[in-house]
Structure 1
Amino acid sequence: MDQSARTYACIDLKSFYASVECADRGLDPMSTRLVVADPSRSRGTICLAVSPALRALGMPSRCRLFQVPAALHPVVAPPRMALYMETAADIYGIYLRHIAPEDMHVYSVDEVFLDLTQYLPYYGVSARELVRGLMDEVRREKGVYATAGIGPNLFVAKAALDVEAKHDPDCIAELDEESFRQRLWFHRPITDIWGIGPNIARRLAARDIHDLAGICAAPEADLYGEFGRNAEYLIDHAWGQEPVTMAQIKAHVPRSRSLCTGQVLPRPYSFAETRTVLREMAGDLALDLVEKELSCGSLSLSVGYQEPRGRAPSRRGRPGSRASTSRRLAAPVCTPESLVPLVLELHGAVADPGRAVRRLSLSAGHLRCLGEAQLRLPLEEGGATMELSRTVNAIRRRFGASAVVPGASLRGEATGRERHCQIGGHHA
């Protein structure tokens, strides 16, 4: 077999959260008008998903609840993240019946890449037939519909899924290099193409480039001047090329690792209230480090401010919409007793006490195994601080994350106990 000739597929589960809710109710997602949203958060809450039936009526997948016309009489399903994760794991198990884990890359909870190359001769089927069989099996057993793209590399498979599959009667699009150029070179908007977001599109449009054909025709020196080394990815993808293989993805080892936590606050928080939440976030992050037997050598904090009344929400990164800072630590830390004061110090140095806060993000970087680090552990006597953290983790594993909480979590503005009952910021 020619090892350079590969066949990849990218399978996406249609409106996954909404489809799972429909299936759990015994309803057909293709005909049921259902939205996944938490109405207790207000009519302005963002819908996590809308069913394919609503998508067919023109409803965007990430609309706000008040934008769904009441005349459509939609079913409003509060999010159940544990159910979605369990269903996603079951569907992954269906794929595992036919494809080895080393030939699969889980891209998100509802999307997976498959290297089909060695399975086509083994099963004696075409790529479309194999993918069709997987999609049918998922629909029969879990009630969830899927779409798929097939191509000679990961990028073309993803582009076929995103742009072409929705127009195919079987919801499967298959492209090779030639058909990629015929059908996608002049496709607009260019933001439909994987990896090209609004910011890149704006920078391309400033050079009168509005599609992949325009990228291919542009002088490479101009693209490198505008995008730096990222121009290489733009140029490769515009020509339908992607050198990265599934084997390389599996073999990849990141140069550095980090642990992150963040949240959108339920209302505008004052400077003092924000520090309560940061105590919780820093404490939980520290316990996560101890649980994973890691220490951190740097901290990053981002504070997102509430927009003044009457002003449209800022795009992320707009000057004044947030404040952020990072610090390399003199010595690695990992326990709450060490981490919390450092985070509060960062907050005091960067945050504006006069502005209300709606978003917080905290990241611990330069991670090292505990055995490799010379830790800074205030108040530690014979490892007592570390052992206390390990004991707290053991209690939480057995009785739940809210079994042991810091005193700050008992304050009215605290969010920790509620978030311990959530997955991804939503009800489990």
Structure 2
Amino acid sequence: MERAYLCIDLKCFYASVECVDRGYDPFERRLVVADPTRGPKTICLAISPAMKALGVRNRCRVFEIPDTIDYEMAPPRMRRYMEVSADIYSLYLRFFSPEDIHVYSVDECFIDVAPYLTLYRKTPRELAVDLVELVRRETGICATAGVGTNLFLAKVALDVTAKHAPDNIGELTEETFKCKIWPHRPITDIWGIGPGIARRLEQLGARTLGEVALLPEQALYDEFGINAELLIDHAWGIEPCTMAEIHAYQPKAHSLASGQVLACDYTFDEARVVLQEMVDGIVLDLVEKGLAGGHVSLYVGYAHERRGWGEEDEGAGGRTFTGEHGTRVLGREAPHAAVSRKLEQTTNSRALLSRRFLALYDEMVDPNRAIRRVNIGVGALVPEEFAGLTLFTDVEAEAAEHRLAQTTIAVKRRFGKNALLRGTSFKPKATARERNEQVGGHHE
């Protein structure tokens, strides 16, 4: 059977949803999705195609939009975007089995159309045209599509060639891939190659995917380790992974994580309060899922001492990269502190996890630096019935704590996440109450 995949993306999805809901044409209305309460430095989550046509970069900050452009700002409505995404997914299910669909993100998915070519008596491109027209007709959202003989080619066709196609549909095979993509620049347009990997490839003498294909394989393995296998395959347009293998994949280990970017600079003590709230939240997640963890990790990102990533940084010897997610300096990591530790016992106890996380925080974080990001994780997860005990474990106290957690979960599930809170969440600069009313870090 011929291998054929589609990769479908919803163009400027958040902004298009806002335009359609307001009765606008996304290709004519200048609209930006951003939270006006977060000030001019907030990131635009999406801009309408009409804004892109004026040269405005997606994922820019509000203050970067030229003053000469008049536009409308729409606050993010994450729940609404999820609803529209689910509606569009239901359109795909009219024609394809869920076993042949892989949802890649809220606005993008892959479809294995090979089993349906005979059934519908259409080529992969004709199926892509039908789906794009269906989405536009039913929802008013413009979709773009990539057609390829493997998943990687479908993704690259979407990201690179569909942008220049009059019908918003790109198509690649292993042979046309070499002609169209090998010489393409910038190489960061290729899926899986970010600015960091691009910089390392350039040091090896490769600025295009064609030049990567000509590099000695051993040089790539020396630089990237096992990940070089992926680069080598993609340089030749090869992707052996199938849709069935994606659905059958089972990770060797599981973890739960929580993270947030703080709205302003936090002091050592203020961020410590936020950390405690995050630990409380992840403990409830563990109890609700019936899991216990044996490994913890903590990441704290400091505020930059210099302003932004502009000419000052570049003049200091750094090279800047501007992409879909803003501008940053290549070859320089943001200042941070990070640590991970194995626990003495597998647990989902709030007392034990709080004590461990706060001890790590006090040990590793510089109390004299402002903090802008906090991330925590609990790994090596197992069913809670396998939670470990030590000679010092207070079994009765842990059982009482577990019952309290289960009761808290029941109350929150029935009356809302803010129905029952610890006193910590009422301290100045605490964030849990506000985040409990958000979806994806934004107000609903």
Normalised to the residue count of structure 1, the TM-score between the two structures is 0.96
In structure 2, the CA distance between the partners of 1:32 and 1:378, relative to structure 1 (3 Å rule), is farther
Q: What is the correspondence of 1:27-426 to structure 2 with a 5 Å cutoff?
A: 27-310=24-307, 312=309, 318=332, 321-374=335-388, 380-381=396-397, 383-426=399-442
Measured after TM superposition, the shift of residue 318 of structure 1 is 4.1
What code does the residue aligned with 1:215 have?
V
C-alpha distance in 2 between matches for 1:162 and 1:112: 13
On the 8 A contact 1:335/1:389 being kept in 2, the answer is no
What code does the residue aligned with 2:112 have?
D
C-alpha distance in 2 between matches for 1:316 and 1:396: 44
- SS of the residue 1:147 aligns to: strand
In structure 2, the CA distance between the partners of 1:382 and 1:347, relative to structure 1 (3 Å rule), is closer
C-alpha distance in 2 between matches for 1:410 and 1:350: 26
C-alpha distance in 2 between matches for 1:239 and 1:112: 23
Measured after TM superposition, the shift of residue 153 of structure 1 is 0.3
In structure 2, the CA distance between the partners of 1:401 and 1:316, relative to structure 1 (3 Å rule), is farther
- SS of the residue 2:110 aligns to: strand
In structure 2, the CA distance between the partners of 1:211 and 1:317, relative to structure 1 (3 Å rule), is closer
Measured after TM superposition, the shift of residue 113 of structure 1 is 0.5
Once the two structures are superposed, what CA deviation does each residue of 1:162-218 show, in whole Å capped at 9, x if it has no partner? 000011111001111111111111111111111111111111111211111111111
In structure 2, the CA distance between the partners of 1:92 and 1:311, relative to structure 1 (3 Å rule), is closer
On the 8 A contact 1:331/1:374 being kept in 2, the answer is yes
C-alpha distance in 2 between matches for 1:249 and 1:329: 32
Once the two structures are superposed, what CA deviation does each residue of 1:340-375 show, in whole Å capped at 9, x if it has no partner? 121111101110111110100001110111122225
What code does the residue aligned with 1:322 have?
H
C-alpha distance in 2 between matches for 1:319 and 1:114: 37
Measured after TM superposition, the shift of residue 130 of structure 1 is 1.1
Q: Cα RMSD between the aligned structures?
A: 1.6
C-alpha distance in 1 between matches for 2:230 and 2:422: 47
- SS of the residue 1:62 aligns to: coil
Structure 1, unaligned runs of 5 or more: none
Measured after TM superposition, the shift of residue 69 of structure 1 is 2.7
Measured after TM superposition, the shift of residue 332 of structure 1 is 1.3
In structure 2, the CA distance between the partners of 1:309 and 1:231, relative to structure 1 (3 Å rule), is closer
Normalised to the residue count of structure 2, the TM-score between the two structures is 0.93
In structure 2, the CA distance between the partners of 1:30 and 1:320, relative to structure 1 (3 Å rule), is closer
- SS of the residue 1:222 aligns to: helix
What code does the residue aligned with 1:125 have?
K
- SS of the residue 1:268 aligns to: strand
Number of paired residues? Answer: 425
On the 8 A contact 1:379/1:385 being kept in 2, the answer is no
Measured after TM superposition, the shift of residue 382 of structure 1 is 7.5
C-alpha distance in 2 between matches for 1:379 and 1:277: 29
Structure 2, unaligned runs of 5 or more: 314-327
C-alpha distance in 2 between matches for 1:334 and 1:89: 33
C-alpha distance in 2 between matches for 1:38 and 1:154: 35
In structure 2, the CA distance between the partners of 1:304 and 1:41, relative to structure 1 (3 Å rule), is same
- SS of the residue 1:362 aligns to: strand
- SS of the residue 1:71 aligns to: coil
What code does the residue aligned with 2:18 have?
E
Measured after TM superposition, the shift of residue 226 of structure 1 is 1.2
Deviates more, 1:238-247 or 1:216-225: 216-225
On the 8 A contact 2:158/2:169 being kept in 1, the answer is yes
Equivalent pairs: percent with the same residue? 52
On the 8 A contact 1:287/1:335 being kept in 2, the answer is no
Deviates more, 1:314-323 or 1:242-251: 314-323
